[in-house]
Amino acid sequence: MPMNLSTSDVLRLAALANLTLAKKEVDILKSQLSNVINYFEELKKLRTDDVAPTSRTTGLEGVLRDDQVDTERILSVEDATSGSEKIHNNTFVVAQVITKDQ
Amino acid sequence: MNTPLTVSELHTALKNKNYSLTGMLDGYFARINSNRDLNAFITVTRDYAYKKAGALQEVLTNNPNAFAEFPLLGVPIAMKDMYLTKGIRTTAASRVLESYVPAYSSTVFERLENAGAILVGKTNCDAWAHGSSGENSDFGSTKNPWNKEYVPGGSSSGSAVAVAANLALVSPGSDTCGSIRLPANYCGVTGLKPTYGAVSRYGVVAMASSLDTMGHITRSVADSERIFMITAGPDGKDSTLVDFRSGKHGVNKKLKVGIPKEFIEQGVDREVRGALESFIKWLENAGHKVSEVSLPSSKYANSAYYIIQPAEVSSNLGRYDGVRYGLARDAFGMEAKRRIMLGTFALSSGYYDAYYDKAMKVRTLLINEVEKVYEDADLLLAPVAPTLPFKLVEKVTDPLKMYLTDIFAATANLTGIPSLALPNGFTKDNLPVGIQLMGKKFGEKVLFSLGKQFQSQTDYHLKTP
């Protein structure tokens, strides 16, 4: 059965993804995303009951470096904060997420 | 100055003192300037390049071993604007990063610079590398140098155009599902998508981490190999890297080349098929064995890809919140929003099993089929894309139609194998067309060997628009 995303589906996905959409964008995305999702229906033709999922192709496991500070490869505080103008006492200023009442 | 087409041509000219490095750069920046309408660059690094050239000219003048110690001495390179370059703006072609100046460099850029290469600019691409035509850039579309009404292919659009139009000799790009091979194919140049785990992704803006590979666009296969020898290998920073270079496998003189029948059954343009057939003819004349093989699940590779990739995109682009660098999330363009939401959908409760988990299982099926086929084949041959270069704006309003451009690219990325795109002809409208050769994992050497053999007998890769 073809999937048709509703306006509230699209708004819920946008909220989950922390995106704000204009009304026009909601309408466009509703049909475009539904189209693409319906394209995925063809995958149902493939039987995958006994197949293990693959998330990576190298087969490498537990690649770790020594737990030691290497000053060659760490950024100075100045460099690390150079991308933002909203810096206070060498830290990033973020938007308030908890109100006083909480 | 005669614009060199390969690194060895450049080095011969430098050894013969036909021009100095500064003189060489004058030529390149004049070309970059007169080709601004192609919109290949987001940032041109003129001052930076002349400063580098000054230092390297001293090496060239005073060090008798200059070319041995700096195998890319003076080679003008253009980095796709996904690669971080310390102190030089890196945008990922998105408004989100329009003012971002990184505090460190990508491994690939560092290695190329250490080998003597000179950065001339950062190339345009689809924003966040999301696209197949180069039209998703927040800095405007790049144009195909063979015909400016056509797309150059994407997402490494500016990289392919820079090499094709002789604005740089080498341009590193990234390939998550054809983003190096597609534009190389549409612009008539050579593009390498290396094995996943061969070249470091460190310092490159992440798109889909289990699929992203760092390759490059050059004119010749010989140059592609030259660059790969420098960029490949562990750097202690990307944990997916494998040190494969010690294993010295010889390359058979006569190769067995398989053609997956699923790649020719699906609506392939007549002229694309013609290019494939002419390559088959060349292979047979050169004594290689060509046979049909089957990868049944490859028909579903693109569907699986368009679930896995947006899922990883939605996670990777989660970090852009305007706090540490860049603008807030309202600066994302439409395509990024589409992919973030598609990925969020595929990963959301109630849909995860039907979409994301299913796609990962299809990926396993495809890997098994590819391994099986390689028991009796050295290489696979296929078209790069089912269609020829298309006109600008033709597909922008229909994302699904655009996504279908990638159907022949997905297999290499989902399975991790390398693929080399080679130009091998022109259409009746004088647009480039080519093929892709896929190898075994870490079997780049075989790809290079066959590619060099082909290019030693043909000159498609040396044609300029």
B30-56: burial string, b at 16+ Cβ within 10 Å, e else: ebbeebeebbbbbbbbeebbeebbeeb
pLDDT at A1: 66
Rounded Cα gap, residues B70 and B112, in angstroms: 9
Structure confidence at residue B244 as a pLDDT band (50, 70, 90): confident
Residue B301 pLDDT exceeds 90: yes
Rounded Cα gap, residues A40 and B278, in angstroms: 34
Q: How many CB pairs under 8 A join A and B?
A: 138
Residue B358 pLDDT exceeds 90: yes
Q: What is the pLDDT of residues A39-65, one digit of tens each?
A: 999 999 999 999 999 999 998 888 888
B80 annotated active-site? yes
Residue in chain A closest to B89 (alpha carbons) equals A83
Residue B397 pLDDT exceeds 90: no
Our CA-based measurement puts residue A100 at a distance from the nearest CA of chain B, in whole angstroms, of: 22
Sheet holding B171-175, edge to edge: B171-175, B213-218, B190-193, B419-426, B432-438, B379-383, B256-260, B289-293
Residue in chain A closest to B368 (alpha carbons) equals A51
The mean pLDDT value for A83-95 works out to 94
Residue numbers of B between 293 and 312 with CB closer than 8 Å to A: 297, 299-300, 303-304, 306-307
Structure confidence at residue A99 as a pLDDT band (50, 70, 90): confident
Q: Which residues sit opposite B260 in a β-bridge?
A: B293
Q: Which of B304, B307, B330 faces A20 most closely, judged by CB atoms?
A: B330
Is residue B145 within 8 Å of residue B169, measured between CB atoms?
no
pLDDT at B248: 59
Domain boundaries, chain B: 7-253+419-462
**Weakest mean pLDDT among B87-101, B251-265, B358-372, B450-464:** B251-265
Residue numbers of A between 28 and 87 with CB closer than 8 Å to B: 28-29, 32-33, 35-37, 39-40, 42-43, 45-46, 48, 51-58, 60, 63-65, 73, 75, 79-84, 86
Burial of B165 (0-12, 13-18, 19+ CB in 10 A): buried
The pTM (predicted TM-score) of the whole model is 0.97
Mean pLDDT of chain B: 96
Residue B247 pLDDT exceeds 70: no
B156 annotated active-site? no
Q: Does B68 touch chain A (CB under 8 A)?
A: no
Chain A residues whose CB is inside 8 A of the B441 CB are 57
pLDDT at B265: 83
Nearest to B27 by CA among B149, B146, B169, B144: B169
- ipTM for this model: 0.94
Q: Does A17 touch chain B (CB under 8 A)?
A: yes
The mean pLDDT value for B149-177 works out to 98
Rounded Cα gap, residues B116 and B73, in angstroms: 4
Residue B235 Rama label (left phi>0; alpha psi -120 to 50; beta): alpha
Domain boundaries, chain A: 7-44
Residue B331 pLDDT exceeds 70: yes
Is residue B463 within 8 Å of residue B146, measured between CB atoms?
no
B20 annotated active-site? no
Second CATH level (architecture) for the domain B7-253+419-462: Alpha-Beta Complex (3.90)
